[in-house]
Chains A and B, each alone.
Chain A
Amino acid sequence: MTDQAVASEVGRARPRKEDARLITGQTNWTDNISVNGMLHLAILRSPMAHARIERVDVSPALERPGVVAAFSGRDLDGLGSLPCAWPVTEDIVLPDHPPIALDEVRHAGDPVAVVVARDRYAAADALEAIEVDYEPLPPVLDLEAALAEGSPLVHSDKGTNRSYVWPLKTGEDFDSVRRRAEVTVKRRYVHQRLIPNAMEPRAVVVTPLAASGEYTLYSSTQIPHILRIMMAVVTGIPEHKLRVIAPDVGGGFGSKLQVYGEEAIALAVARRVGRPVKWTESRSEGYLATHHGRGMIQDVEIAAMRDGRLLGLKVDLLTDMGAYLMLVTPGIPILGAFMYPAIYKMDSYDFTCTGVFTTRTPTDAYRGAGRPEATYAIERIMDELAAEVDLDPVELRRRNWIRHEEFPYTTIAGLTYDSGNYEAATGKAIALFEYDKLRAEQADRNARGDTVRLGIGVSTYTEMCGLAPSRVLGDLRYAAGGWEAATIRMLPTGKVEVVTGTSPHGQGHVTSWSQIAADVLGVPFEDVEVVHGDTKAAPQGMDTYGSRSLVVGGAAVHHAAQKVVAKARKIAAHLLEASEQDLDFADGVFSVKGSPEARKTIQEVAFETFTSHDLPDGMEPTINAEHLVDPDNFSYPHGTHLCAVEVDTETGRTKIRSYVCVDDVGRVVNPMIVEGQVHGGLAQGIAQALFEEAVYDEEGNLVTGTMADYLVPSAADLPEFVTERTETPATSNPLGVKGVGEAGTIASTPAVVNAIVDALRPLGVHDVRMPCTPERVWRAVREARS
């Protein structure tokens, strides 16, 4: 490989290879799959948040036209509990989670019975015939009340609603820094529950081969490899008899980083009836049955000196697990635990997280997963501290952040940030934003008493990505590793297949991986195809989540391609009758130093390897290569986001006037894909700040049960984004990449809320609860004035 070759594909804004078929839908979405004899599964779900099941009678459903079978939870016994792979403490309370409820339902939407019928309509109609008697039990909804003595219990056999307490105390004792602090600020922040809303709803197809006991499970999942292992455990189907395929998957945002009951149910039902079955959720069904995100109360205290220098941070979390611990539910806030100190230097950090059961849909990973919560808390309270010590919020950050010459830097939370340049990103953002000009306009509006106030919000975020060093995961009691695999297959005609263990669901891996492989191998971008998402075709992998795919999986592709070149070099040297050391390799061509006419292309070598007529003695007849990467460290993207809002104090309406972000995601493989990731991330982070909330009533029913009530913003609700970058390469991987999937979501939420509070601070407002709806803003202004 030469540097010249690298420059040709990596860094190029290639339009995505996969878009034509994804955008037109002319492709293999799970719900598009149709198999001979396929039956359709429909699921009866609990209409109540909490109840004892006195009786389930599925027999009337069997009388309905087109119905083939119907099952209650008891009928499908033999299914194991759905797994939690991240029991974060030794004494964690980890309740059973049957795929179909047996004795008790614990959230609205908990499955109670299933019907299989010859078409979707017959299945849906037959659900209405199933008879269920419920004995209502009290819902558990408030996180603090749930922990109080005498609270009703979500899992009565466990004797508590507290799942775990996870502490992390580092540096000087917090009480001690509090005593020597000149300023302390304490705030409570609340993260509402969010519904992930992937564009493609979940869907599952199972095809059984009765004679051999083999099963193929198609699922709209982010994690075909992990799913295969877990389904083998849950259903008892031997792992080698189970093939899992994630066909084209239309988004996930963490919601398809899950092992779902419906996947186990479909396997069990297909085994029972001996026919293929399909289940596709409706959007409103998904709102109840697909895991939610966030749901957290944060008590945050920061201690500092008058000049703004930070001394320490104390964080106490109550996090809403929902009714059960799903795949990584308890670990989500722990992923955030290391990020509260963010980019700042301090002497003391005191963190505690308490996981609480409630009678709501379980929570789990949602874009950012723990890190948006952390970034929100620290970036919000930094603004409060800035106001308290009368410093510009950017200046307060500057006084405390890790300077670029201090990297690598081990933070108070124990992470070692390999690289970064907060000065550069912030400087660029300030200039693009016209910070001083907006501050002047703000002062002018405040002086005039304008009913429309201007506010400026800043967020200087970082995140830990590239999940993850396996040893660290082991220390955190996570049940799997964090490595990733890639194989390069050189086909006889010179074309290339890249087999990856990552599982793209909208990220454009096919394009980016092609760019990486094309550069190392010196083959045309168009000659590379990427194989993924099928445990038979891509047998090894840890799948896609946590901004890991490029950092770990992309690096694996790079290394595997280098191995191919090394093998090909041996054969080329043999064919050219030269020594390996005497060969140059550039743009896919091996040539003998000093006599460039003596050359072999890597494609020619691939064909010679296929015929194997004339290989070096003892050489294995392949130049294909595999490589697995287990990263040494996380990667640490960072950046500075600046948001200007106009807040109409009469109506409470917030309008984002301008938004500038300068992200440092390291080296960029495809700028267009990075830009798309940033745009989508910003939209989702802004949505938490302004629009989205899963609202429950006091009975525990989801009130925002459709997209008419759960407000996902569209382009019309969002401003023009100004997206720029600085490039400080990561030192922890050969590509210098850091990951970009979650950056926008992590950074933008506090930038927007900081801007709103900044606009209203002269009126006496210090916080607005998310989402900052017009009514909430209006009430905050009214209360501050009275």
Chain B
Amino acid sequence: MIPPAFEYARPASVDEAVRTLAEAGEEAKVLAGGQSLLPLLRLRLAFPELVVDVGRVPELRGVREDGDTLVIGAMTTHHDVVTDPLVRRHAGLLAAATATVADPAVRHRGTLGGSLAHADPAGDLPAVILALGGELVAQGPRGRRTIAADDFFVDYLQSALEPDELLVEVRLPKADGWGFHYEKFHPVAQSWATVGVAALVRRDDGHIAEARIGLTNMGATPLRATAAEAALTGAGDTGSVTRAVESAAEGTRPAQDTAASPEYREHLARVLTRRAVLAAAGMG
């Protein structure tokens, strides 16, 4: 567990960070909370020439409102997300899912932006941001651009960020009035989700008017269960929800690993989606 040698930079501002990244080219890695990068370094699975530590950039931290949008700085820690009153009020799904991330030590170090930029489909938060319809704001030498969550997760551990871009904030439409639930299935408390389901449900007159479902660890990227979302529209009881979620694993391509087979993950996706939707809709 001895990392290879690397250069280290600790910029004080976003501008300085972006400049440092641009100068380093493809051989730089951004260090946020370090919960993914440090293990990769110590296992000698990553060999960056330069590590750019953005841990001392104050403008990257904190939560604020911008009209109907909630804006969360990329370096806001999981712990701060879980305990933030604005997040709890307007994006309860994110607070609930973040509370299930690993353990308290990790939640005090790890950050929302770091978790998203790492683009691990087994991470809890990518699927949540998908379900919430979030946007991710990146800053690079060519200025700022906004990337929809649907376009952000490109492949396994690969985001739409360019090597010289820094994820600076996450923008979430306020989900006031939506029911939510994150159903995480993991073998032990500190492990990644075998499968996770992030459900957002808007109810109208006792029926589901709209459902948004993000799936954790059901493919190379976080996914939306679009077929189940469509089928759930109009569902008004446990039976109709159960039928609708039969399509929850459609279009997924889950991995085979020590935790589970693809077949079992597909089965779990259906069971957990039912449970998550029933809980989110208050029908459980």
Interface residues, chain A, with chain B CB atoms under 8 Å away = 42, 120-121, 124-125, 282-285, 650-651, 653, 691, 695, 703-704, 706, 708-709, 711-714, 716-717, 773-775, 778-779
Contacts and interface: CB of A to CB of B under 8 A. Distances in A.
A704 B4 contact: no
Given A653-B185, A716-B189, 15 more contacts: A42-B2, A124-B2, A125-B2, A651-B268, A691-B187, A704-B258, A706-B43, A711-B191, A712-B188, A714-B103, A714-B188, A717-B188, A773-B187, A775-B260, A775-B261
Contacts of A691: 187-188
B1 A651 contact: no
5 contacts: A284-B1, A650-B271, A713-B189, A714-B189, A716-B103
A121 B1 CA distance: 10
A595 to B, nearest CB: 65
A713 B267 contact: no
B271 A713 contact: no
Interface of B: 1-2, 4-5, 39, 42-43, 103, 185, 187-192, 194, 258, 260-261, 264, 267-268, 271-272
Nearest to A779: B264
Contacts of A713: 188-189
A463 B272 CA distance: 43
Contacts of B43: 284, 706
| Centre residue among B103, B185, B187, B272 by max chain A CB count within 10 A | B187
Nearest to A782: B267
Contacts of B271: 650-651
A706 B42 CA distance: 12
A695 B257 CA distance: 11
Given A650-B271, A775-B264, A778-B267, A121 B5 contact: yes
A287 to B, nearest CB: 12
Nearest to B185: A651
B80 to A, nearest CB: 22
Contacts of B261: 775
Given A651-B268, A703-B258, A709-B258, A282 B188 contact: no
Contacts of A708: 39, 191-192
B1 A711 contact: no
B240 to A, nearest CB: 18
Contacts of B39: 706, 708
B185 A125 contact: no
Nearest to B2: A124
A169 B267 CA distance: 49
A778 B264 contact: yes
Nearest to A285: B1
Q: Quick one: which of B2, B4, B185, B268 has the most chain A CB within 10 A?
A: B2
Contacts of B189: 713-714, 716-717
A713 B191 CA distance: 10
Nearest to A771: B187
Nearest to A65: B5
A716 B190 CA distance: 9
Contacts of B191: 708, 711
A10 to B, nearest CB: 38
A120 B2 contact: yes
A201 to B, nearest CB: 9
A727 to B, nearest CB: 35
Contacts of B2: 42, 120-121, 124-125, 282
Contacts of A716: 103, 188-190
Nearest to A648: B271
Contacts of A717: 188-189
Contacts of B192: 708
A36 to B, nearest CB: 22
Contacts of A704: 258
A708 B2 CA distance: 17
Contacts of A712: 188
Please list the 4 inter-chain residue pairs (A to B) with the smallest Cβ-Cβ separation, ordered nearest first.
A716-B189, A282-B1, A124-B2, A775-B264
